[in-house]
Amino acid sequence: MAYVNFENVTVKYPIYNAKSMSLRNQLVRIGTGGKLSKETIDVINITALDEVSFELKKGDAIGLVGHNGAGKTTLLRTIAGIYTPVSGKISRQGRVSTIIELGAGMDHELSGYENIYRMGMLLGATRKEMDSKIDEIADFAELGNFLAVPVRTYSSGMLMRLMFAVGTSIEPEILLIDEMFSTGDANFQEKAHARMEALINAAEIFVFASHSPELIQRHCNRIFTLSHGKIIETNLA
């Protein structure tokens, strides 16, 4: 059974060459919402998550809200294991899939088919699993013979269709999404929407960062508000 547990988890980013402290502090504070601390004359640390604790269990659907830079994406990446905390403990069980940075690991010199395997295996799938998914991904992306040529020849829309098809082909127990998005023509958007709905409904734990109250209300049963590195759980309106 899937679960995620954070115990006093802190995540920090260093900013180097921070000589103009007063101006840089103001810009960083506005842009991140994190806490600032001075390590040396040239280094500032941003505390993106500050001793955060929570527990997620099967059936939880979490909506992450907060202004731009409040730490929503940082939290998703930390849940996924992409970021390592400087302190605290994270316990996690269950296969994780992230719709955060689609196309992670894509090599633009490789063909579409080669990138399907590359991206899928970086998402945690085995070669055998990708063998079983390759035809379905190809059909969904609707790229035809272009899958046999290097992706550097693709338009931005073609790239997004391929990345979305691969990124949503892995069936997770823990699903992490950073904003919904649309790509392609109306028919492809309709397919993409249906695919996302199926993934969300199948996941045991769902965590969703969004600025849309309507989507939060529709998909989530708990809300985490992030501000200055802290999390406050609020009730659904």
pLDDT digits (tens, 9 = 90+) for 93-105: 998 888 876 667 7
| CB-based contacts of 14, cutoff 8 Å, min separation 6 | 39, 43, 44, 45, 46
Res 14 pLDDT > 80: no
Instruction: Indicate the average pLDDT of the chain.
Output: 86
Q: CB–CB of 233/223 below 8 Å?
A: yes
Is residue 115 very low, low, confident or very high in pLDDT (cuts 50, 70, 90)?
Answer: very high
According to DSSP, residue 145 is labeled G
Q: Which domains does the chain have, with CATH numbers?
A: 3-94+209-234 (3.40.50.300), 99-203 (3.40.50.300)
| CB-based contacts of 139, cutoff 8 Å, min separation 6 | none
The residue type at 41: I
Q: Is 192 helix (H, G, I), strand (E, B) or coil?
A: helix
Is residue 77 very low, low, confident or very high in pLDDT (cuts 50, 70, 90)?
Answer: very high
Res 90 pLDDT > 50: yes
- The reported pTM is 0.80
